[in-house]
C-alpha cells in the first residue's frame, strides 16, 4: 500500500481502484462487486425509509491547515443519518456516489473513505455499496436507508397547538470552533481541542429519534440542518401552527464561554446549524417522560418552546417576532465555503469581541 | 405555471421550488416534505438491495438540437434501475439528488423531472424523495432500492464452466443513432425516428431479471453498462472462468441496416454500451427453458457464448482473443461528452462508410 498511496486515481483506473482500494476495505461485505448492494435481510414487517443528500464543503475546512476529505466523508454520512434520525428509523446502511477529479490521489480517496466509514461505525451502520466516477469537481452524495416499525415513523406532521418543542443534542460547537479560529474567543487548549473535535465529528441523533418513535412520546420531528429557525418554521408550516420560543438555552460550558467572550447571547449559538440536532415535538403532558427517556439513554435535550394556534413565530416573554437563522439553497444564504470572517458575519452577525 | 416556467431557480429559492415545482408534482406522495422519504411498507421476508449512480452526459445530446435535461433525467433512472435488474429485484422506489446551477430555469428543471418521472412510470416505479441543491455544475445522482425474495437474488458470482451467456435486450440502438446522426448511414424517416426514440429512451431489463431470479433459471447476471466485453470479462473474473463468444448476433433490422451501411459487422454494434442490456448466465440444460420464459414475457434474448474453465476470453470458431469494448472510468475511455465523430471512432473504430 505504501507505494500506491501516492498514486493518482487515474494511475490506477477504475479496475485498479476496485482491486487495490475498495476490495481491501469492502471485499468482505456481502454483495461486494455486484451491480446492486445487499442492504439487509428483513423478516419483520417494516416501513422502509430513504434519504439522499450531497455533501457541502465542510465549514471546518476553514479552520484546518490543509483540505482533508476525511471531514467531508464524515459529514456526508452524518447529514444523511440525521435525516433518518428524524423519522426514528434504524439505519440499514448507506450507499455512496463519489465523483472525484482524475488527479485525486489514492491517499486523499482513502481519507474520504476513512471519514465515511468511521462515521458509519460510530453510528452503528455501514456503507453497503456505491459508485466512484471521475469528474471535474468533487461531488459526494450518499443515500441512507432505514426501517421503522409499522405505524411508528415520525414525520414533520402530527403536531398540535400546545405541544412542546425539545431540542435534542448540543448545539453551537461548530460556530464556537469558528469563533475560536477567527480569534473572537480563547479557551484553554484542552477545551479548545474538545470544541474543535465536536465541530469536526458531528453525530446524528439516531438513538433519540428511535426512542421517541418507539415510546410514542414523539409526535413529530425534524433535524436542524439549516438553522433552528428554519426547522421550527417548517414544523409550524407543516402543521398550520405558530410557535413561542423561550429564547433561553443553556449551552455546554466551553460553547457558553465562547459566546460570552464573543459578545453573543447563548441562544445566538444555540440556533446555528452544523451540529445536527433534532427538534422533537411532544405533548405537553409527555415532556417529563420524554426528557426522562432521553436522559436514560444519555441523550441531552432542552425544552425550547411551545407550538401555538396563533400562526406567528415569536420569542421571549415579550413575544417579539423571531426571524432567526435559516440557510436556504438557491439563495444568498446557500453555503459554498468562502472566507471565515464573512461566514461568521453571515451566520452570527458581527461578534462584538 | 406559465409565468414561473421562465424564472430561474434562484428567483424562487429553495422554499419557492418546494412549493411551486415539487409540491404540485410530488405532494401526493406519502412522506412528501419529511426528512426521509417513505419507500414501502414490507410485510414479507425480503432481501433489500440498493444501487447508486450518477448520470453521465447522455450521448444523445450530441444528436439533438438543444441540450434538454429530459434525456439526462431518463438516463439517470434507467442506469440505476438497470443495476436493480441485474439482481432480479422488484424496485421499491428511487431517491434523487440534483445539484443544479442557480441559473437553471424552472422549465429546464421541470424537463429533468419529467424525464426521471416518465422513466420511473415506464418501469413501474416512482421517485419517493430527494434533494435539490445549487452548485456550479449539473450533477445528477440517484439511488434505486429494491427487494428480492430471500435466496433468489442474482449476483455476478454463481456461474460454472459450461454455463451459457444470454444477452437480454436489443443492443446497438444508441450507436446506430450516432452513426445516423454523423451521416454514416441513412434510413427512411420512420425507421430513423424509431432508432432515435430507442436511443433516447433506453429501458432497464427489470422483468427479465425478475423472471430469471424467480424461476431459478438465472445463475448469475450483470448489466451491460460499459460494453459487452467489460461485462463478460467481469463475470469471468468473478467466477474464475473464461468465455468463448460466438461473435454472431442478429441485430434488430434498422440497426442491422445501419451497421451494413457503416461497414461494421453486426457484432460491432451488438457489443456497444448505452442500451442497458443484461447478460444472464444459465446452465446449458436450462437455455431453452430460459429463452421460453423470456419469450413468454415478450423479452428478446440471444445466446452469445459459453463460460469456460480455460480463463481466456475468445471469439469465433477460430478462438481468437477478444478484446472488445470496455469503457473504464479514471481512464481515457471514461465518457464525458465531446465531439460525435471522435466518440464514434473511440467506441466503434473508424466506420468504413
d(CA B38, CA A145): 10
Across B106-116, average pLDDT:
98
Q: Is the pLDDT of residue B335 over 80?
A: no
B222 and B279 Cβ atoms separated by less than 8 Å: yes
Q: Which of A43, A45, A130 sits opposite B52 (nearest CB)?
A: A130
Nearest CA in chain A to B51: A36
Which pLDDT band holds residue A2 (cuts at 50, 70, 90)? low
Q: Work out the burial of residue B253: count CB atoms within 10 Å of its CB; fewer than 13 is exposed, 13-18 middle, 19 or more buried.
A: exposed
Helix and strand totals (H; E) in chain B: 12, 12
Angstrom CA distances, B191 to B187, B257, B266, B340, stand at 6, 10, 18, 21
A273 and A227 Cβ atoms separated by less than 8 Å: yes
Q: Is the pLDDT of residue B264 over 90?
A: yes
User: Residue A37's beta-bridge partner residues?
Assistant: B50
B96 and A52 Cβ atoms separated by less than 8 Å: yes
Sign of CA dihedral A277, A279, A283, A287: positive
Angstrom CA distances, B154 to A116, B214, B286, B316, stand at 28, 10, 16, 28
Across A10-35, average pLDDT:
95
CA A279 remoteness from chain centre: 12
d(CA A169, CA A202): 10
Across A311-339, average pLDDT:
88
User: Residue A313's beta-bridge partner residues?
Assistant: A243
Which pLDDT band holds residue B195 (cuts at 50, 70, 90)? very high
Q: Is the pLDDT of residue B1 over 60?
A: no
B86 and A35 Cβ atoms separated by less than 8 Å: yes
Across B23-48, average pLDDT:
95
B158: left (phi over 0), alpha (psi -120 to 50) or beta: left
Q: Which string of b and e fits A202-233 if b means at least 16 CB within 10 Å?
A: bbbbbbbbbbbbebebbbbbbbbbbbbbbbbb
Nearest CA in chain B to A105: B330
pLDDT at residue number B141: 98
Residues annotated in a binding site of B for ATP = 130-131, 156, 225
B236: its cell numbers: 469471468
Q: Is the pLDDT of residue B337 over 90?
A: no
Across B24-40, average pLDDT:
95
Q: Which of A33, A82, A129 sits opposite B50 (nearest CB)?
A: A129
Residue A256 CB contacts under 8 Å (≥ 6 apart), including other chains: A250, A266
Interface residue B84 vs chain A (CB under 8 A): yes
Q: Which string of b and e fits A163-176 if b means at least 16 CB within 10 Å?
A: bbbbbbbbbbbbbb
pLDDT at residue number A52: 98
Going along chain B from its start, the domains and CATH numbers come out as: 4-148 (3.30.1330.10), 164-348 (3.90.650.10)
* Closest CA relative to residue B178, chosen from B280, B274, B59: B59
Angstrom CA distances, A125 to A94, A171, B143, stand at 8, 24, 18
If you search the block for the grid coordinates 416501513, which residue do you land on? Answer: A47
Q: Is the pLDDT of residue B47 over 90?
A: yes
Percent of chain A scoring above 70 in pLDDT = 98
User: Residue B306's beta-bridge partner residues?
Assistant: B164, B244
Interface residue A77 vs chain B (CB under 8 A): no
Which pLDDT band holds residue B343 (cuts at 50, 70, 90)? confident
pLDDT at residue number A66: 67
Across B31-39, average pLDDT:
95
Contact A145 B54 (CB under 8 A): no
Contact A49 B31 (CB under 8 A): yes
Across B255-262, average pLDDT:
98
CA B104 remoteness from chain centre: 26
Contact A48 B145 (CB under 8 A): yes
Across B287-309, average pLDDT:
98
Nearest CA in chain A to B89: A36
User: Residue B315's beta-bridge partner residues?
Assistant: B245, B320
Least confident of A153-162, A339-348, B122-131, B260-269: A339-348
A89: left (phi over 0), alpha (psi -120 to 50) or beta: beta
Backbone angles phi, psi at A91, to 5 degrees: -70, 135
pLDDT at residue number A332: 83
Across A123-128, average pLDDT:
98
Average pLDDT, chain A: 95
Higher pLDDT, A338 or A45: A45
pLDDT at residue number B144: 98
A143 and A202 Cβ atoms separated by less than 8 Å: no
The Cα of B218 is separated from the nearest Cα of chain A by a number of Å equal to: 15
Q: CA angle, corner B195, sides to B77 and A131, nearest 5?
A: 25
d(CA A67, CA A338): 13
A105 annotated as a binding-site residue: no
d(CA A67, CA A57): 10
d(CA B4, CA A347): 30
Which pLDDT band holds residue A243 (cuts at 50, 70, 90)? very high
DSSP B168: E
Which pLDDT band holds residue A57 (cuts at 50, 70, 90)? confident
Across B341-351, average pLDDT:
88
Q: Is the pLDDT of residue B65 over 60?
A: yes
Residue A315 CB contacts under 8 Å (≥ 6 apart), including other chains: A244, A245, A246, A247, A321, A322
pLDDT at residue number B62: 79
pLDDT tens readout for residues B119-167: 999 999 999 999 999 999 999 999 999 999 999 999 999 999 999 999 9
pLDDT at residue number B2: 58
pLDDT at residue number B3: 83
pLDDT at residue number B339: 84
Contact B46 A42 (CB under 8 A): yes
pLDDT at residue number B66: 67
What is the gyration radius of the CA atoms in chain B, in angstroms? 21
Element of type H or E holding B37: strand B37-42
B228: its cell numbers: 459487452
A45: its cell numbers: 414487517
Between residues 92 and 111 of chain B, which touch chain A (CB distance below 8 Å)? Answer: 92-93, 95-97, 99, 102
Across A209-231, average pLDDT:
97
pLDDT at residue number B34: 95
Amino acid at each position: 500500500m505504501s507505494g500506491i498511496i501516492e498514486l493518482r486515481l487515474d494511475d490506477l483506473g477504475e479496475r485498479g481502484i476496485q482491486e487495490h482500494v475498495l476490495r481491501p476495505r469492502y471485499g468482505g461485505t456481502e454483495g461486494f462487486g455486484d451491480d446492486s448492494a445487499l442492504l439487509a435481510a428483513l423478516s419483520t414487517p417494516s416501513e422502509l425509509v430513504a434519504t439522499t443528500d450531497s455533501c457541502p464543503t465542510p465549514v471546518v475546512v476553514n479552520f484546518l491547515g490543509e483540505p482533508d476529505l476525511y471531514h467531508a466523508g464524515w459529514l456526508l454520512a452524518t447529514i444523511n443519518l440525521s435525516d433518518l434520525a428524524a423519522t426514528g428509523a434504524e439505519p440499514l446502511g448507506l450507499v455512496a456516489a463519489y465523483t472525484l477529479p482524475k488527479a485525486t490521489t489514492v491517499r486523499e480517496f482513502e481519507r474520504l473513505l476513512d471519514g465515511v466509514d468511521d462515521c458509519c461505525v460510530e453510528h452503528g451502520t455501514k456503507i453497503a455499496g456505491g459508485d466512484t466516477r471521475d469528474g471535474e469537481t468533487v461531488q459526494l452524495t450518499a443515500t441512507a436507508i432505514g426501517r421503522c416499525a409499522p405505524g411508528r415513523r415520525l414525520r414533520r406532521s402530527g403536531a398540535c397547538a400546545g405541544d412542546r418543542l425539545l431540542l435534542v443534542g448540543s448545539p453551537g460547537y461548530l460556530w464556537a470552533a469558528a469563533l475560536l479560529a477567527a480569534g473572537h474567543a480563547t479557551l484553554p487548549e484542552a477545551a479548545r481541542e474538545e470544541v474543535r473535535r465536536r465541530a469536526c465529528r458531528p453525530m446524528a441523533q439516531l438513538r433519540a429519534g428511535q426512542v421517541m418513535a418507539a415510546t410514542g412520546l414523539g409526535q413529530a420531528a425534524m433535524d436542524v440542518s439549516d438553522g433552528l429557525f428554519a426547522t421550527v418554521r417548517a414544523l409550524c408550516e407543516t402543521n398550520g401552527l405558530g410557535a413561542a420560543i423561550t429564547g433561553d438555552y443553556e449551552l455546554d460550558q466551553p460553547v457558553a464561554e465562547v459566546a460570552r467572550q464573543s459578545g453573543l447571547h447563548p441562544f445566538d449559538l444555540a440556533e446555528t446549524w452544523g451540529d445536527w440536532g433534532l427538534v422533537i415535538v411532544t405533548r405537553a403532558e409527555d415532556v417529563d417522560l420524554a426528557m426522562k427517556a432521553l436522559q436514560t439513554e444519555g441523550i441531552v435535550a432542552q425544552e425550547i418552546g411551545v407550538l401555538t394556534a396563533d400562526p406567528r413565530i415569536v420569542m421571549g416573554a415579550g413575544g417579539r417576532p423571531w426571524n432567526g437563522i435559516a440557510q436556504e439553497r438557491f439563495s444568498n444564504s446557500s453555503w459554498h465555503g468562502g472566507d471565515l470572517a464573512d461566514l461568521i458575519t453571515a451566520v452570527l452577525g458581527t461578534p462584538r469581541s
